[in-house]
Chains A and B, each alone.
Chain A
Amino acid sequence: MTEVDYKNVLVAEDSSVIQNLLKKILLFENCKITSAKDGQSVLDKYEKGDYDLIIMDFNLPVMSGLEATKKIRAIKNKKGKVPIIGISGNAKNLPESTFFEAGIDEYMQKPLDYDKLIELVKKYTGSAE
Chain B
Amino acid sequence: MNKLARLRPRHPILSRKILIVDDNDINRQYLRSVLSDEDTELLSASSGQMALKLLENHIPDVILMDIQMPEMDGFECLNLIKERHTDYPSLIFAVTGFSDDFGNTSFKQLGFDELFLKPIKATIFKDQIGELLQKWREEKFASNHTLKLSDAELIEIKTVKELKKYASQKELLEIYKEFETETTEAIEQLKSHIASNDFDKILSILHTIKGNSASLGLTPIAKFSEKAEIEIKNHKTADLENYLRQLLALFTTFVSNYGRILNLN
What is the number of residues of chain A that contact chain B, defined by CB distance less than 8 Å? 19
A21/B215 in contact, CB under 8 A:
yes
Per a CB cutoff under 8 Å, which of A16, A20, A110, A114 touches B211?
A110
Instruction: Give the chain B neighbours of A59 by CB distance below 8 A.
Output: 204, 207-208, 211
Q: A15-B182, A110-B215, A111-B215 are in contact. Are A21 and B175 (CB under 8 A)?
A: yes
B212/A18 in contact, CB under 8 A:
yes
A112/B215 in contact, CB under 8 A:
yes
List residues of A (88-117) whose CB comes within 8 Å of B's CBs. Answer: 89, 91, 110-112, 114-115
Chain A CB within 8 A of B248 CB? no
Q: From residue A28, how far is it (CB to closest CB) to chain B in Å? A: 6
Instruction: Give the chain B neighbours of A118 by CB distance below 8 A.
Output: 166
Instruction: Give the chain A neighbours of B211 by CB distance below 8 A.
Output: 15, 18, 59, 89, 110-111
A17/B214 in contact, CB under 8 A:
no
What is the number of residues of chain B that contact chain A, defined by CB distance less than 8 Å? 25
Instruction: Give the chain B neighbours of A16 by CB distance below 8 A.
Output: 178, 182
B162/A20 in contact, CB under 8 A:
no
Chain A CB within 8 A of B147 CB? no
Chain A CB within 8 A of B216 CB? yes
Q: Which residues of B contact A (CB under 8 A)?
A: 159, 162-163, 165-167, 171, 174-175, 178-179, 182, 203-204, 207-208, 210-212, 214-217, 222, 229
What are 20 inter-chain pairs, A to B, with CB distance below 8 A? A14-B208, A15-B212, A16-B178, A16-B182, A17-B182, A20-B175, A21-B215, A24-B166, A24-B167, A24-B174, A24-B175, A25-B163, A89-B210, A91-B229, A110-B211, A110-B214, A112-B215, A114-B163, A115-B162, A115-B165
